[in-house]
Homo-oligomer: A and B are copies of this chain.
Amino acid sequence: MYRSRQTENLDKNVLEYLSSLDDDINLFYYDIVGTQAHCIMLNKIGILNHQELSRLLSSLSELKDNCIDQAKVRKILSSDSSEDIHEQIEALVTQSVGLEVGGKMHTGRSRNDQVALDIIMKARDDLLVISNLITNLLRSLITRSKEYQTTIVSLYTHLQQAQIGTFSHYLLSYSYSLLRDLERFNMIFDRINKSPLGACAIGGTSIPIDRKYTASLLGFDGLVENSIDATSSRDVIIEFLSSHAILMTSLSRIAEDFIIWSTSEFNYIELADKYSSTSSVMPQKKNPDPLEILRSHSSIVTGNLLSALTIIKSLPTGYSRDLQNIKPLLWKSTAIVTNSLIIMVGIIDTFKVNKNIALEQANKSYAVSLDIAEQLVIKYNIPFRQAHKLVGRLVQYAIKNNDNISLKDIPKEELSKSLDSINIHIDIDDLHTIVRETISENSIYLRKSTGSPNPNEQKKMLESIEHLLADTENILSKRTNMVDQAFKNLQQLVIEKCKLDK
């Protein structure tokens, strides 16, 4: 349709190579709505009369009605000559209302600002969906963490038992990380919620369009002002993609925890049957496949971020076709993030915790060592390094000479020997008492620092998380309503304008 200068059509292979129609099904709805807003504005500034407007809006609305059926949209979009959805929609409308009217709809805009608009409208919706899913996941984590505020489990560093903690403490640590993800998405909204429409190809237009009016019809807060910037920049999309990658990377760590905890050897949790797979040949297998898929999805999302960054890298200013390849990367990543959040909510809601096994494992460990050393520091004001050395010696004794006995079972005589070798003056009975009493169940109550697994701290953190979450949900719901309302108003306006024709 656009080829005024070329004398030869695009090679068929080339058309396929260039075509983004398959991916652009995601933009069908947004392209139509954006075009409706554009037409209403063209009417306002006198380019379209009422009748022309009415016919264009009706034709666009008819196309839009197909949105409920993806297969139908796919069929509508299949074309022998259009390179993309924007050309195809214009062709279909023009076919329906005639060139005299259809030939006016693209006045004062270009594919470059149009595609930037469509992408940003979809990204805005997706951002809100993702944000809401994160709040769902946070709700699940809060609910489950309430069940396990005193459930003893080892905390690991280097995948070695380090200190005693509570199961709730893990779930809350996930929550804080997710709250930061939520913050990130929230902050992107300000940059995403600006309209590029009206920047035309790169240098604006001589048609006296009203950019602010279309922006407000489509629920935007403002404009991407500079016309080069509006058509050529993709930094906000990259920022969105990088927030995807950060979130997925955090989720992949949760997945790794759960995969390890559900091995036969750890066995701290058991995934619900509906969240696990089996083998084609080994009937005993219960495999954490959804977690593995999620874990590997983080690599896909990271790869997509990188592809997008390097597509843009060293591109000259101004729209280049390279930018087209960013769209499917974004949509694929968004789909992955969306699905992964849904799956993670399901997994969190349904796994079982094997409390006894976790406790037993904690008791067999030497993770109370630091607690013992710190009790000595507090009671005797000895240097921490010496207390550390003393307990190190006890651990060595317990492991090497005695087949991994617990610290609490070290005979008094051995405690005494260790004291002598270190040359600290500590009452042997005190030491004996401390060593015997600093067991897993007690140790979490000894912890005094803000943010520790001490159940009192768990309670405080839960409250603070619930508070932060409620605030965010409030903002989110306002934004969601704001966008929804704009679209409803626009829809209402379209209906009114359509009536004018009849």
Determine whether A470 belongs to the interface, using a CB cutoff of 8 Å to chain B: no
Judging by beta carbons under 8 Å apart, are A249 and B162 in contact? Answer: no
In the complex the two chains form, is B377's CB within 8 Å of A260's CB? Answer: no
CB <8 Å contact, B281 and A180: no
> Cβ of B233 and Cβ of A177 under 8 Å apart?
yes
Option from B107, B110, B226, B259 in Cβ contact (under 8 Å) with A279: B110
Report A145 CB to chain B, min CB distance, Å.
Answer: 11
Tell me if A325 is interfacial: C-beta within 8 Å of chain B.
yes
Interface residue stretch chosen among A392-400, A472-480, A484-492: A392-400
A252 / chain B contacts, CB cutoff of 8 Å: 313-314
A395 and B279 alpha carbons, distance in the complex (Å): 13
Contact A256:B315 (CB < 8 A) given known A5-B396, A227-B453, A239-B246:
yes
Specify which chain B residues have a CB less than 8 angstroms from the CB of A351 in the assembled complex: none
The answer on a CB contact under 8 Å between B388 and A283 is yes
Query: Which of chain B's residues has its CB closest to A202's CB?
Result: B155
A321 near B158: Cβ-Cβ < 8 Å? yes
Interface residues of A in 1-55 (CB under 8 A from B): 1-11, 13-14, 16-18, 47
A219 at the interface (CB under 8 A from B): no
A204 near B447 with CB under 8 A, answer: yes
From B305, B309, B367, B448, A209 is in contact (CB under 8 Å) with B448
Given contacts A199-B451, A259-B159, A287-B160, contact A374 B207 (CB under 8 A): yes
Whether B158 pairs with A235 at a CB distance below 8 angstroms is no
A342 at the interface (CB under 8 A from B): yes
- A interface residues, how many (CB within 8 angstroms): 201
Least Cβ distance of A334 to chain B in Å?
15
Most buried by B among A265, A375, A396, A448: A265
Give the distance in Å from the alpha carbon of A265 to the alpha carbon of B156 in the complex. 12
Q: Mark A263-306, 1 if CB is under 8 A from B, else 0.
A: 11110000011111111111111111110110111111011111
Do A163 and B255 contact each other (CB < 8 Å), given the known contacts A158-B320, A211-B451?
no
Contact B260 A316 (CB under 8 A): yes
Q: How far is the CA of A322 from the CA of B292 in the complex (A)?
A: 5
Could you give, for residues 363-393 of chain A, a 1 whenever the CB lies within 8 Å of some chain B CB and a 0 otherwise? 0111101110111011001011110110111
- Select from chain B the residue with minimum beta-carbon distance to A175: B226
Is there an interface contact between A203 and B164, defined as CB atoms closer than 8 Å? yes
State the number of copies, please.
Answer: 4
* Stretch binding the partner chain, chosen from A61-69, A96-104, A123-131: A96-104
The answer to whether A162 and B203 touch (CB under 8 A), given A172-B226, A235-B181, A309-B245, is yes
Contact with B along A107-126 (1 / 0, CB 8 A): 11111100000000000000
A169-B201 in contact given A255-B314, A369-B283 (Cβ < 8 Å): no
In the complex, A143 has a CB within 8 A of chain B: no
Provide the residues of chain B in CB contact with A446, threshold 8 Å.
206
Cβ A205 vs Cβ B274 within 8 A: no
Cα distance A223–B460 when bound, in Å?
Answer: 14
Query: Which residue of chain B lies nearest to A45 when distances are taken between CB atoms in the complex?
Result: B448
Cβ of A450 and Cβ of B296 under 8 Å apart? no
Select the stretch in A73-81, A183-191, A425-433, A494-502 that faces chain B. A183-191
Quick one: which of B112, B278, B339 contacts A2, CB cutoff 8 A? B278
Shortest Cβ distance from A331 into chain B, in angstroms? 14
Q: What 8 new A-B contacts, CB under 8 Å, besides A107-B383, A172-B228, A283-B369?
A: A102-B385, A107-B384, A157-B320, A162-B285, A176-B225, A225-B461, A265-B361, A298-B314
12 A-B contacts, Cβ less than 8 Å apart? A1-B385, A4-B391, A10-B277, A13-B342, A103-B383, A163-B200, A198-B449, A206-B447, A264-B364, A289-B321, A302-B309, A310-B310
